[in-house]
Homo-oligomer: A and B are copies of this chain.
C-alpha cells in the first residue's frame, strides 16, 4: 500500500537534490567573471558560494499547477555569494534545474538595498582565520596566565570559543566578543572567565585586531595590558582548580527496565514518498530550508487544502549579563541557519523506534552538498488520552469515544548550545499543531560580582544567564481558497432584564464578533488584551450559516521582547506581535533573513514593514505570523540539560464551523459500547 495515493506534484515544494546542488554549484563556478573560489575554507577576501537553497515558485504559479492543470513551475535555486573581493553580497536566482542556463542577481529587487559584506554570517573559512589570529595574538602571549588560571597549556587548544552577538553596536561593525569555555562535552556551562573582543571587520584579515580583553570581571585594553596587570598582581587572579565535567550526559546508572514503547500492531497507517506524507485523511508536502528550518505545504484534509504553508521562521533569544560576551547578546538563529543544524535523530529517544526517518541534503558554508541521514522523523503516536468520549448512565445508557492517535512530523535542530525540537502534529479532528520545545545546554558566563542580577548560579563559578526564547511561525491558511478574512470572537457581559421576573437584572455572557480589516488592526501586540478567539475565515458558510473558519490558538509564555527604542529591535520586529496578519506576498516569504543577525541595526528584512503599508485584509490571501516562546530564568536543574517539560510553545489550528460536524466522527477508530 506504500505509494498508493501519492502524487509527484508535491515535488513542486521539494528541497534541491544532491545532484541539483552540484549542478547549480558547477554552473556558478563556471561563470569565470564571478571569480568564485572553490575552497570550502575560502578566506573573507575571496568570493564564496555560501548557500544554495530551493527558491520556491510563486504561489500563483503553484496553485495553477496544482489546481488548474497549469504547467509545472520552473525549478530554480537561490544562490548566495559573498563577494569578499568587492565588499558585497549578491543573491542570484539560478535556473532552470537540473541544468541551469541563467543566473540573475536579485539582491536589490529582493531587499531594496545592497547587502554590505559584513552582514554575512561568519563562514568556516573566516573562523579558521579567526581562531588562528586569536591563538597567535592572544593565547600564545599568555602561557603563564592560561596555565595558572585555567590549567591550560598553550601547546594544546584546551579552551573553546563561544561568540556574543550582535558583533558591535552599529551597521558595518564586525567586532565579536568571544568567551572561553573548558574543552568538555557541554562546554557551554564551563565558562572560565576569559573573553576577548576581536575586530574582524576587514575582509583583509591582516587588519584584524584585539580590541579588549576581559578577565575575571576586569577589562584590559590589550593582551599586553592584561599580562602586565597579571604579573604585577594588580588584577584579581583566577586560580585553576580541577572541576569534574558536570555537563556530561553520560548515564550514571545502568539501564534497568526499558520504559513503555509504541508499536503498530496492524502495520503503519501513514506513508512517505518523495516529500509527501499521507496519513488517514491528511496529505502534505514537506521540505527543510537550511535557514528557516522545517516546513510543510499544501496541507489537505479529506482532499481539501487547508494550509498552503506552515513553516518555522525564526528563533530569537535576548540575554542579560554583566559579562561582555553576553551582555548584548541577541541570537537570531535563522541567520545562522536553523534547518542547517537538523542532524540525525536518535531512535528511541528523539523519535520512537518505529518512526520513519528521512534524509535531507543541504548546501551551506561548504563546497559540496551534504547528506544528513535520518534528519526528519515521521511517526504516528498514541497521545495516551481520548480525542473525545462520553459516558452516559441516565435516560440513555451508552459509551462512545475514540483514542487520540496523531501523526508527528519532527526535526530537532542543535544550534550550538540549544536544541529545538520542532513538531507539526496532525489530528484526526482536522487540527494541526505547530509546537516547539527547547532542550540542550543553557548559555552561561563566569560568575563575577553582580552576576546574580542576571540569572542564577547553576554550577561552580557559573551563572546561567536570563534570556528569552521567542519563536516565529508562518501560517498561510487558505480556508476554502485564498480569499479570506480575519475575525475575532470573545465573550462580554451584558445586563438584561429577566423576561420572567420583571425588574430583576442580571449580567449575561454574550458572543462578540469582529472583523479586523487592515494589517495594522490585525497586528496584535503581545501586551494588549486580546480577543480569546482568532479566526481565518472564508465568506462561505457551513450548513448552519456560519462562516467557515480555522481558529488560531496560541500557547505562549512570552512577554516583552526588547524595547522598540533599541537600535537592534527592527531585526526582530515580528516579536512585537503575538499574532499579526498580512496579505500574502511572494516577496514577503520570511519574517527574518540570513543577514538580520550581523546587521541588526539595518536588517535586510524588517517584519514591521510588512504591515507598515497597512493594507486591506478583507477577502485577501492572508498569512498569520505567530509568536510563541517563554522566558528562561536558568536554575540548577538546567544542569546538565534543560528539560522539555514546560519549556515550549506553539499554536493549534483548529476548525471552527469549517465543517458541519466533527470530522473524527467518520474515523474508523471510533468506539461505541451500548447497553445489552
A655 to chain B, nearest CB (A): 5
Known: A399-B346, A457-B545, A466-B509. A385 touches B644 (CB 8 A): yes
A511 to B348, CA, bound (A): 37
A405 to B427, CA, bound (A): 22
Interface-side segment among A146-154, A470-478, A488-496: A488-496
Known: A381-B260, A398-B185, A640-B665. A386 touches B439 (CB 8 A): yes
Asked if A668 and B544 sit within 8 Å, CB to CB, the answer is no
Q: A439: which B residues are within 8 A, CB to CB?
A: 386-390
A490 to B630, CA, bound (A): 11
Asked if A557 and B562 sit within 8 Å, CB to CB, the answer is no
A642 to B318, CA, bound (A): 39
Asked if B388 and A559 sit within 8 Å, CB to CB, the answer is no
A174 at the interface (CB under 8 A from B): no
Contact with B along A366-395 (1 / 0, CB 8 A): 000000000000011111111111111101
Contact with B along A270-285 (1 / 0, CB 8 A): 0000000000000000
Q: A454: which B residues are within 8 A, CB to CB?
A: 508-511
Which of B183, B546, B636 has a CB less than 8 Å from the CB of A636? B546
A429 at the interface (CB under 8 A from B): yes
Asked if B262 and A266 sit within 8 Å, CB to CB, the answer is no
Interface-side segment among A74-82, A87-95, A349-357: A349-357
Of residues 558 through 613 on chain A, the ones whose CB sits less than 8 Å from some CB of chain B are: 559-560, 562-563, 565-566
Known: A466-B491, A500-B212, A511-B633. A388 touches B264 (CB 8 A): no
Asked if A390 and B262 sit within 8 Å, CB to CB, the answer is no
Most chain B Cβ neighbours within 10 Å, of A454, A635, A666, A671: A635
Contact with B along A78-120 (1 / 0, CB 8 A): 0000000000000000000000000000000000000000000
A184 to chain B, nearest CB (A): 7
Of residues 181 through 224 on chain A, the ones whose CB sits less than 8 Å from some CB of chain B are: 183-187, 197, 211-212, 214, 219
Which of B452, B491, B563, B641 has a CB less than 8 Å from the CB of A468? B491
A555's closest neighbor in chain B, by CB? B555
Interface-side segment among A33-41, A245-253, A286-294, A517-525: A245-253
Asked if B384 and A352 sit within 8 Å, CB to CB, the answer is yes
A132 at the interface (CB under 8 A from B): no
A-B contacts, 12 of them at CB < 8 A, read A169-B501, A250-B400, A251-B671, A253-B666, A263-B263, A387-B644, A388-B644, A452-B511, A456-B511, A491-B559, A532-B559, A637-B657
The list of the 9 closest CB pairs from A to B, nearest first, reads A249-B400, A320-B509, A259-B405, A251-B670, A457-B544, A388-B641, A257-B266, A381-B384, A349-B401
